[in-house]
Structure 1
Amino acid sequence: MQLKHYFWIAVLPITVLSVVLPGKTQQNKPANILFQTSTISALAAGVYDGKITFKELKKRGDFGIGTVNTLDGEMIGLNGTFYQIKSNGVASVIPDSMTSPFATVTFFKPEKLINIQEKINYQQFQQSLDKGFPTKNYIYAIRIQGNFPYLKVRSVPKQTPPYRPLVEAVKAQSVFELRNINGTIIGFRTPSYMQGVNVNGYHLHFITTDRKTGGHILDGELQNAKVEVSAISNIEINLPKTAEFGQADLGDGRAAEVDRIER
């Protein structure tokens, strides 16, 4: 039985508008199922060679985030189209034949629509959602559309073997500051007990309305934005059957590294 979740947000600038009934997407695809390839700890350990193609990922979801083969930038999927945002900040459509070493996708079916009117910063936004969740024990898929007075985003450069751990690779990241920009932020909030499997807490990516640029969210401000949220209770994780994954050090230290570099 699928669970419905109702979110009552404590901060005044955020107002609940309506509920969308759960079920299946308009494309008749199953909602409330999260598919993930590999783990964030494996990515932190430098497992950057992907085996699953984006053609296969599209069968598992039309909405998601992650990266592409060799850690070549940030990935964001919207309405069935997946985009790669390279370290130069340029976004382009990912071909079906390209592979991903780490991705989290779902067929997004919003259960709650929230309107943000007044300006709030990224930290206030996270705190507000956290207060409104009836439980923090589920993964939540999040989509935010509207105008963003300020966003700080990043992308990482393509890596070459022998691969360095993620904490070293991101030292060469490109950081972009975008102002008064329209677009979409999507991603997930993952419970702390899944640390090491996925990013602990909020992991969000952005792409502009014209699909020309974006990146991994580091900081920002929201105003006049529409927020849609859905709880996910079904998870499938596909672990790569490779020597690199099998030999990787995926201990607790990797999860701590991710917490430092993803924010």
Structure 2
Amino acid sequence: MNKKNLIIFLILLSVTFFSGCTGFTGNFSEKSGNIESIEDSGSGICGNDSEVLYQVSTIDALLQGVYDGVLPVAELETHGDFGIGTFDGLEGEMLALNGSYYQIKTDGIAYPVSGEMTTPFATVTYFEADESFRLEEPANLTELEAFLDLNLPSENLFYAVRVDGDFSYIKARSVPRQEKPYPKLADAVSTQSVFEFENISGTLVGFRTPEYVKGVNVPGYHLHFITEDRSAGGHVLDLEMESGDAALDITSAFFMELPASGDFYNVELGQDLQADMEKVEK
């Protein structure tokens, strides 16, 4: 995608998701002839942040190997207490729950995160449940997602998803830190560590995004898991759930900040990466 098309894309995003808002501070500002990185630009989100889904970069960029951290976790924390993502160099899985941020490394352990750590891709919000459901029947991952879909007010909205439950089985993963030149995500996950949990309680944290934002975020469900004692977890690949409680937070606004330098400027986005996405989810 060339710079002209990138600017058009940003304008369309602003009009689509933030029509009627005022006081927006753009992502780009000139400083000594250069463009500032996003940690210096200020987001300028308007309205109630609790109803905003805040995102750093795009899933397409991550699929293409854009792994350099561009936003400190300390700044990310000001945009949400709930969410998922990854860290600089693709080192581990990010999970935020009740305001606590964790990095799940390739040993499967969930480590507390320092504010100086940075992320190349993350999605967060302030979680406030709008819909809640009790799940009494056992369900695998496909069945759980189908149940949630049946209870959505609309498939065209963004949802933060939280499920607290008892699981007979969880299959999760984490990816090790990558070194430059970065491989594509489909190749990076070939070195992933896979963890299998049995008869465990914990929480699924993630989002359901609509099909029309394909390339911006993962269409459908993207879930991470953390144990009840917050000691372990990972990116969910499969599960068998016995029972639990699900909650959906409907987010009426979407705000995305793009990296203003580095690999993001040069990568060719907008390609059909469905095959790569399928490899990543295995």
TM-score range, shorter chain: 0.7 to 0.9
CA contact (8 A) 2:111 2:231 kept: yes
User: Per-residue displacement from partner, 1:142-177 (whole Å, max 9, x unpaired)?
Assistant: 101121111110111110111111010001111111
Alignment-derived partner of residue 243 in structure 1: 262
Of residues 141, 156, 162, the one that matches 1:143 is 162
Q: Give the aligned residue type for 2:134.
A: N
Look up the match of 1:75. 94
Q: Deviations over 1:224-258 (max 9, x none)?
A: 21101111120000000113101012122235422
2:223 to 198, 204, 221: 204
Residue ranges of structure 1 left out of the alignment (5+ in a row): 2-28
Q: How many residue pairs align between the two structures?
A: 236
**1:36·1:237 contact (CA, 8 Å) conserved in 2?**
yes
Amino acid at match of 2:120: P
**Quick check: 1:132 aligned with 2:151?**
yes
Q: Do 1:46 and 1:164's aligned partners in 2 also have CA atoms closer than 8 Å?
A: yes
Please, which moves more after superposition, 247-256 or 220-229? 247-256
Answer yes or no: is the 8 Å Cα contact 1:199–1:259 preserved in 2: no
Give the secondary structure class of the aligned counterpart of 1:164. coil
Cα displacement (A) at 1:101: 0.3
CA distance in 2, matches of 1:202, 1:73: 19
SS for the counterpart of 1:84 is strand
Contact between 1:74 and 1:215, CA under 8 Å: does it hold in 2? yes
What value does the CA root-mean-square deviation take over the aligned residues? 1.4
Tell me the amino acid that sits aligned with residue 240 of structure 1: P
Amino acid at match of 1:214: G
Task: Please give the residue correspondences for 1:1-263 in structure 2 after superposition, counting only pairs within 5 Å.
Answer: 30-263=49-282
How many percent identity over aligned positions?
46
**Structure index of larger Rg:** 2
Q: Is the 8 A contact 1:195 1:255 kept in 2?
A: no
Alpha-carbon distance in structure 2 between the residues aligned to 1:190 and 1:259: 17
Instruction: Indicate if the aligned counterparts of 1:77 and 1:83 stay in contact, CA closer than 8 A.
Output: yes
Residue in structure 2 matched with residue 22 of structure 1 by the alignment: none
Q: What TM-score, normalized by structure 1, do the two folds share?
A: 0.87
Q: Which runs of 5 or more structure 2 residues have no equivalent in the other structure?
A: 1-19, 21-47
Farther off after superposition, 241-250 or 96-105: 241-250
Map of 1:12 onto structure 2: none
Shift of 1:212: 1.3
